[in-house]
Each structure stands twice: as C-alpha cells, then as structure tokens.
Amino acid sequence: MNDRYEFILGLRAIRDYQDKPLSEDHLSGILEAARWTGSSKNRQDWSFVVVTGDRLLGLAEHGDFTDPVRSSAATVVLVKEEGGNMFDIGRAAQNIMLAAKALGVASCPITLHRHADARHFVGAPNGTETRYAVALGYPGAGAAPRRFGGRKPAAALVKYDHY
C-alpha cells in the first residue's frame, strides 16, 4: 500500500483538543477542501458556518454528544441548502476531516440532534438543514480515538452481486 492510502485508513475521530485557536491558514485550507468536494451534478448545494469562541457552547446545546464542540477551536456546521442532499453533505464532512488531518488538525464528526434549533442558532434560512458538523482543534496531549476501534471483517460487510 502507498502512503496516501494508509493516510486515509488512518483517519480517526479525535475529541481532545488543545486550548488554542486554529491558524487562519489551517482553517482556510480546511474550508477550501470542503468547497472543492465533489457534489451531485456539481450543484454544490451547501454552505459552511464556522462557529468559534463562546458560541461553541450554544451550538453544543443542539446535540446530545457534543463535548468535542465545547472544547473545539472551531466547529464547522454543514448547511444543506434547498435541493441538496445528505450524501453530498457527508462527502464534504469527510473532506473536511481528511484536510484537517493533512494539516495536523484533529476532527470529530458531530450530529446536531435538534437540527431545526441549530438552523436558527446559526442563522440559516428556512428550507435548509443543519444536521451535521465537524469539530476541529489541534490534538491534545492524550488525543486518541475513544471506546470504539477496529473494523468488522470484510467478509461480514462486503457482498458481491447479491446480498
């Protein structure tokens, strides 16, 4: 296997961050990777709202497992615009996480369980959805994936030609 392939296989959600803001270059690079994500019919039916500072605590109230948001340097809320689809939002989230890793920034995907309230919180217009976000920060001293790990064997997941 090559280094790029191993890089992709090594992506992990990290929830422990240093108390330090992201550099402007790193945040810009991550957002540029999000912007360049492929999308259905190249519609790019998304927006990205970067939440920082004291507003992170308010954003965290819109999900059930949002400690990474509270401790992040920034959290990117992925806004699905009218006509968009969640498949493309997932693709953008993965690009954000891969770009972050490439720049030495840790990341964690977040579900905003009370997404209608989250939409109001970030000021997104009616007709948009804000179900998902990605918390970002420089990894803390003990940063490592938690609780879950490993993968099911391929034989348990992969089917050929028929389920």
Q: Are 11 and 97 in contact (CB under 8 A)?
A: yes
Question: pLDDT at residue 73 above 90?
Answer: yes
Q: Taking the CA atoms of 150, 154, 156 and 158 in sequence, report the sign of the dihedral they define.
A: positive
Question: What is residue 146's predicted lDDT score, i.e. its pLDDT?
Answer: 61
CB atoms closer than 10 angstroms to residue 113:
13
Domain coordinates in residue numbering, the chain = 3-141
Asked: is 3-141 a CATH 3.40.109.10 domain? The reply is yes
> Residues 101-116: pLDDT tens digits?
999 999 999 999 999 9
Average pLDDT on 71-97 reads: 98
Among 83, 79, 8, 78, smallest CA distance to 42 is for 83
Q: Is the pLDDT of residue 34 over 70?
A: yes
Mean of pLDDT values over 40-46: 96
Averaged pLDDT score across all residues of the chain: 95
Confidence label for 145 from pLDDT (cuts 50, 70 and 90): low
